[in-house]
């Protein structure tokens, strides 16, 4: 990911891919022009990288020059008229190939056509590395297009965002969802996860997604995914990860404007953690941290036994069962701790103390993200 000024950009076209595209363009043009020696004209500033690579790959003799279009100073942008800088060469009878980094609305191209009308060239061909068909509103033919792209803002390889990013060797695309805080919340039974999740949700304006709740909701409301999940549960089988992920995806989509999510009860396996990463990636986002409440086993046992005295939950009343639940938790989550630790995303937080103390510790970890 790249940050330029206030915006985040994600990888879009790699150096290798750019290289292949430019090479193909150069070969296509060469094949069409035969023995004609063309004049390649780059439109500055954006085209400097693509022109440099293009002419290096052009397999035959050629000339290369640059022009720049600049707005007349002192003229309001609404009545913007472009002025040409740099065209000093006589182009009479020559084959001219305009090399552009990107064609968006086609306004620049219109100016180019206007300017070249009086140059008596033999032919004027247009080659562009990137082309946004959804934004283009002119009729000029584009003879060579390296890559058609969606109508999203890109940077790198000559293209800038407010002056920055031209130097990047690859191309990046603007992230449409801006920065979110997405947490995976973990804690052994009795660690106080529910209490802290409620607090984090309020403080950071996050949406709490508890997989258990999502399952119950979908099954109760007989959604397609709920029925599918139930069919596995009824057979005594585990619900496949994809079904769970699809449900979570729906929850994330329902809350498209959220500042972030707290995932609770998911992931439980490496495969699920990967699937969750993919889901977030598709939303132009990522899991920022696994936050785990760390509480000593003996403290947990005492807390749960105490809770059992009033809660009436059978699984909170028996010390053997409690110890087993705790053991199971560590057995299952150790892998996930490693998964997130490898990405420097594991934050263990001391879960012993008053609710407020623990809250302060959690906030300190999250504020650092």
Just list the catalytic residues: 193, 268, 307, 313, 325
Q: Which stretch binds ligand IMP (CB under 6 A): 99-107, 221-229, 287-295, 343-351?
A: 99-107
| One residue of 53, 104, 264, 316 binding ligand IMP per CB under 6 A | 104
Residues 123 and 96 sit within 8 Å (Cβ to Cβ): yes
| One residue of 2, 18, 22, 108 binding ligand IMP per CB under 6 A | 108
Site mask for ligand IMP (CB under 6 A), range 248-287, x = bound = ----------------------------------------
Nearer CB in complex with ligand IMP: 131/347: 131
Q: Which stretch binds ligand IMP (CB under 6 A): 153-161, 233-241, 257-265, 344-352?
A: 153-161
Nearer CB in complex with ligand IMP: 13/326: 13
Smallest distance, ligand IMP to C-beta of residue 50, A: 12
Exposure string of 268-282, with b = 16+ CB inside 10 Å and e = fewer, is eeeebbebbeebbee
Q: Which of ligand IMP, Mg ion, none binds 105 (CB below 5-8 Å, type-dependent)?
A: ligand IMP
300 binds ligand IMP (CB under 6 A): no
Instruction: Please report which residue ranges of the chain form alpha helices under DSSP H.
Output: 15-33, 48-57, 107-116, 193-204, 211-220, 224-234, 241-254, 270-282, 297-311, 319-342, 355-367
| One residue of 107, 249, 269, 363 binding ligand IMP per CB under 6 A | 107
| One residue of 13, 96, 129, 159 binding ligand IMP per CB under 6 A | 159
Smallest distance, ligand IMP to C-beta of residue 183, A: 32
Token pair recorded at residue 173? 């695309």
Smallest distance, Mg ion to C-beta of residue 172, A: 17
| One residue of 21, 127, 154, 214 binding ligand IMP per CB under 6 A | 154
Please give the biggest Cα pair distance in the chain.
Answer: 96
46 binds Mg ion (CB under 5 A): yes
Q: Which of Mg ion, ligand IMP, none binds 104 (CB below 5-8 Å, type-dependent)?
A: ligand IMP
Torsion, CA 235, CA 240, CA 242, CA 246, rounded to 10 = 50
Non-local CB neighbours of 186 within 8 Å, separated by 6+ positions: 193, 290, 291, 292, 293, 333, 336, 337
Nearer CB in complex with ligand IMP: 130/346: 130
Taking Cα atoms as reference points, which of 295, 350, 348 lies closest to residue 326? 295
Nearer CB in complex with Mg ion: 68/179: 68
| One residue of 38, 42, 46, 260 binding ligand IMP per CB under 6 A | 46
Strands 82-85 and 63-71: antiparallel
Q: Which of Mg ion, ligand IMP, none binds 153 (CB below 5-8 Å, type-dependent)?
A: ligand IMP
- Interacting positions 314-343 with ligand IMP (CB under 6 A): none
Q: Which stretch binds Mg ion (CB under 5 A): 7-15, 43-51, 183-191, 243-251?
A: 43-51
Q: Which of ligand IMP, Mg ion, none binds 154 (CB below 5-8 Å, type-dependent)?
A: ligand IMP
The β-bridge partners of 293 are 349
106 binds ligand IMP (CB under 6 A): yes
The burial of 37, by beta-carbon neighbours within 10 Å (0-12 exposed, 13-18 middle, 19 or more buried), is given as exposed
CA 63 to chain CA centroid, Å, is 40
Which helix (H) or strand (E) is 171 found in, with range?
Answer: strand 171-174
Task: Please give the Cα distance from 211 to 202 (Å, whole number).
Answer: 19
Nearer CB in complex with Mg ion: 109/300: 109
Q: Rg of the chain over CA atoms, in angstroms?
A: 30
Residues 252 and 283 sit within 8 Å (Cβ to Cβ): yes
Residues of this chain that bind ligand IMP (CB under 6 A) = 46, 102-109, 153-155, 159
């Amino acid at each position: 990911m790249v940050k330029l000024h206030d915006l985040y950009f994600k990888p879009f076209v790699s150096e290798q891919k750019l290289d292949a595209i430019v090479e193909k363009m150069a070969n296509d043009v060469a094949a069409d022009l035969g023995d004609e020696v063309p004049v390649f004209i780059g439109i500055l500033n954006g085209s400097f990288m693509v022109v440099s690579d293009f002419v290096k790959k052009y397999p035959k003799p050629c000339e290369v020059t640059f022009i720049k279009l600049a707005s007349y100073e002192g003229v309001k942008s609404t009545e913007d008229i472009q002025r040409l800088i740099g065209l000093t060469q006589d182009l009479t009878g020559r084959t001219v190939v305009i090399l552009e980094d990107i064609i968006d609305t086609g306004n620049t191209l219109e100016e180019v056509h206007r300017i070249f009308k009086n140059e008596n060239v033999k032919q004027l061909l247009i080659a562009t590395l990137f082309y946004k068909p959804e934004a283009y509103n002119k009729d000029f033919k584009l003879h060579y297009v390296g890559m058609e792209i969606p109508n999203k803002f890109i940077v790198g390889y000559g293209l800038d965002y407010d002056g920055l990013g031209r130097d990047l060797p690859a191309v990046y695309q603007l992230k449409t969802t801006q920065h979110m805080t997405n947490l995976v919340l973990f804690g052994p039974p009795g660690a106080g996860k529910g209490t802290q999740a409620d607090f984090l949700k309020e403080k950071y304006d996050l949406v709490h997604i508890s997989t258990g709740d999502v399952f119950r909701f979908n099954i109760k409301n007989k959604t397609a995914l709920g029925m599918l999940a139930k069919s596995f549960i009824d057979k005594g089988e585990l619900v496949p990860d994809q079904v769970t992920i699809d449900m979570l995806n729906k929850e994330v989509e329902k809350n498209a404007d959220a500042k972030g999510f707290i995932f609770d009860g998911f992931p439980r396996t490496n495969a699920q953690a990967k699937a969750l990463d993919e889901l977030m990636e598709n939303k132009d986002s990522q899991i920022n941290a696994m936050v785990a409440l760390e509480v000593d086993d003996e403290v947990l046992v005492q807390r749960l036994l105490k809770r059992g005295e009033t809660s009436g939950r059978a699984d909170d009343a028996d010390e053997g069962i409690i110890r087993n639940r705790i053991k199971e938790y560590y057995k299952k989550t150790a892998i996930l701790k490693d998964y997130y630790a490898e990405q420097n995303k594991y934050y263990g937080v001391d879960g012993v103390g008053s609710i407020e103390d623990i809250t302060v510790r959690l906030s300190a970890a999250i504020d650092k993200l």
